């Protein structure tokens, strides 16, 4: 059977049943909160991605390269009917639309989207590792992620790991994490916590 396609045509992705994925979002340049919200809207506009739950927005100290502005970080649980690598590519496209330039590892950025968890998938490729290999080490990921796993169907062992690691990170004051704002995602309203 010939599986070739006409020039410029690619096979369509198979339709898959929606699963839960968790995305960490961060920004420390420009209108940080506005960029986080724009990223959520752009993700949610995609036909195969539905933002279901969002965390509070937390301000955190930079990690790695510390001579840069503080970050705003949050997490979102999404229902997605794209395979993990296609979801990652959509996230990278959103970063590009919002002006992300990759000049320095752990450097300043308008927006950063990391795929942290994808239901039922463990993988380790050059392009993507799931679950994210450093998620349990970073308060700026853990604390917002704890907010979303509380309202999201995930494996109980995953929820317990996140809750335990987040509590420990907050107990020891890792990365100077403080609640910045909360949002009501579906109504689009926000009330300031700062």
Active-site positions read 100, 109, 112, 114
> Under a CB-based contact definition with an 8 Å cutoff, are residues 167 and 147 in contact?
no
80 burial via Cβ count (<10 Å: 0-12, 13-18, 19+): buried
> Under a CB-based contact definition with an 8 Å cutoff, are residues 84 and 128 in contact?
yes
Strand 71-80 with 49-54, pairing: antiparallel
> Under a CB-based contact definition with an 8 Å cutoff, are residues 21 and 77 in contact?
yes
Write the DSSP symbol of residue 136: G
Q: Tokens at residue 1, please?
A: 């059977």
CA distances from 155 to 20, 52, 149, 158, 172 (A): 11, 17, 10, 5, 26
Structure-token match 């604390």, residue found? 143
């Amino acid at each position: 059977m010939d599986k070739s396609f006409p020039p410029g045509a690619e096979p369509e992705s198979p339709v898959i049943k929606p699963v839960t994925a968790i995305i960490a979002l961060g920004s420390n340049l420009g209108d940080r909160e506005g960029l986080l919200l724009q990223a959520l809207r752009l993700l949610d506009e995609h036909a195969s991605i539905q933002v279901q739950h969002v965390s509070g927005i937390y301000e955190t100290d930079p990690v790695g390269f510390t001579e840069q502005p503080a970050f705003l970080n949050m997490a979102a649980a999404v229902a997605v009917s794209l395979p993990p690598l296609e979801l990652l590519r959509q996230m990278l496209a959103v970063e590009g639309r919002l002006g992300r330039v990759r000049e320095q590892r752990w450097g300043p950025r308008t927006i950063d989207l990391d795929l942290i968890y994808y239901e039922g998938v463990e993988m380790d490729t050059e392009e993507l590792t799931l679950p994210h290999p450093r998620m349990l080490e970073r308060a700026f990921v853990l604390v917002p992620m704890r907010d979303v796993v509380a309202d999201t169907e995930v494996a109980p062992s995953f929820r317990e790991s996140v809750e335990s690691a987040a509590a420990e990170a907050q107990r020891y004051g890792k990365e100077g994490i403080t609640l910045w704002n909360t949002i009501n995602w579906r109504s689009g309203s926000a009330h300031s916590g700062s």
